[in-house]
Structure 1
């Protein structure tokens, strides 16, 4: 079970997580993605997260836009320079390079994919395929199923790609075997929710009994419900997750432009 082998144990009685995603950084702080300075947006999100009293942050993928080693170094540098003091975990997006992600995974940035807390387990999945669309390899799904079968407590799952259509342009790049992943999660009767990025906006959907949430980007957002690729600078956003004995609560927070 190589992907989920590295784990992290949270000690808090209740868990406060943030999910951030799609930073699309460049090799310099001046890089712009559709006229948005992605580093500046990312810094504003890190500043906001530092005041949320978090136990951890999950980064949902697409760290880079220019695919440079320098963009990964900038990500690590901005995290280190921020006031955020909790661990940061990651899942890979379609833009990402697993080797470069591994190279920055030290200290505060962790490569752990199986997170444990008092309420249950958190699994960080790999939906990166050979194209911009997502694909969960058969071996990865088998490993996931084995971990879920061994689980005795509730599970929260994260991945990058959206497994359900959003009636938008990015459906051409969705998780191509999304139903297989979703059925694996639901059939385990353990999973409380699946949270993903990739779609650059907030969505709340469901598959059978499973809530499926999308988190907006820290960079730029994509227009909803259109076959055209339209970008809107609505400001960066992030998702808060509070997991306690009362259950799982999540909400999206937007920051001003």
Structure 2
């Protein structure tokens, strides 16, 4: 349970969450990824999120493109300089290093991987493997199962646990079914959210909804195994967790596109 041990708690029955992912920053604000200024696109998302009165932000990984310490510092600076006032939680992507995240000193960027509220919890899993493909260790799967327990839960990871019939399937979560079976078998997981694939998807696995959030940077073309990119503008996802009349936790979600 070490990964999920230190929980951050919201003393409220409903939670509004922004999920933003795959910003691919470089060492300074001029850096580009497939001709997109990633710092500018990330900043646009932060400004839009700040207007939505969310309780927290979950950053879904692939912070860096050039793997520099400065890119992590830029991430913190862009958050600090934005109008965003809520806490920002993170999980690692295949491009990222845990040690670089943990060196950040911004009081707004927190290392907690379990976010609780009076209606349930968010669990931020680690799918970073030894290659660009994802891997969740057996120990971590046990941690996840124990953390969900009897609590209504929403799980986040970086890699896609299901194939999307597109290029990034070559780097998907290699033991994705094991992760999803762990979630389904608890009978308390409401949904799984991931990034990595740079586009919007919704899939189902054993009646469990699996959602992909588009990148704040460039998107990757759907329905092709070719390596194709599309500048569709930055995007993020909003997740609403509310209690219904029967006192059950309900999930609703929409993607916000910031097309000009």
For residue 210 of structure 1, what is the aligned residue in structure 2?
Answer: 208
For residue 238 of structure 1, what is the aligned residue in structure 2?
Answer: 236
Say whether 1:125 aligns with 2:128: no
For residue 43 of structure 2, what is the aligned residue in structure 1?
Answer: 43
CA contact (8 A) 2:199 2:212 kept: yes
Say whether 1:171 aligns with 2:169: yes
Range that drifts further, 8-17 or 117-126: 8-17
Cα distance, 1:5 vs. partner? 1.2
CA contact (8 A) 2:76 2:106 kept: no
For residue 251 of structure 2, what is the aligned residue in structure 1?
Answer: 248
State the secondary structure of the residue aligned to 2:251: strand
Residues 120 and 164 of structure 1: is their aligned pair in 2 closer, same or farther, counting only changes over 3 Å?
same
Task: Write the mapping of 1:59-208 to structure 2, written as runs, cut at 5 A.
Answer: 59-104=59-104, 106-148=106-148, 151-208=149-206
Cα distance, 1:105 vs. partner? 5.6
Cα distance, 1:106 vs. partner? 4.3
TM-score, L = length of structure 1: 0.97
Cα distance, 1:152 vs. partner? 2.6
Cα distance, 1:146 vs. partner? 1.9
State the secondary structure of the residue aligned to 1:19: strand
Q: Distance in 2 between matches of 1:162 and 1:106?
A: 29
Where does structure 2 lack aligned partners over 5 or more consecutive residues? Answer: 245-249
State the secondary structure of the residue aligned to 2:84: coil
State the secondary structure of the residue aligned to 2:110: coil
Range that drifts further, 138-147 or 67-76: 138-147
Range that drifts further, 128-137 or 138-147: 138-147
CA contact (8 A) 1:23 1:38 kept: yes
1:43-72 Cα distance to aligned partner (Å, 9 max, x none): 000000000001000000000000000000
Q: Distance in 2 between matches of 1:139 and 1:188?
A: 16
TM-score, L = length of structure 2: 0.96
Where does structure 1 lack aligned partners over 5 or more consecutive residues? Answer: none
Cα distance, 1:236 vs. partner? 0.4
For residue 32 of structure 2, what is the aligned residue in structure 1?
Answer: 32
Over the aligned positions, Cα root-mean-square deviation in angstroms equals 0.9
Following TM superposition, the consecutive aligned residue runs of length 4 or more in structure 1 with deviations greater than 6 angstroms are none
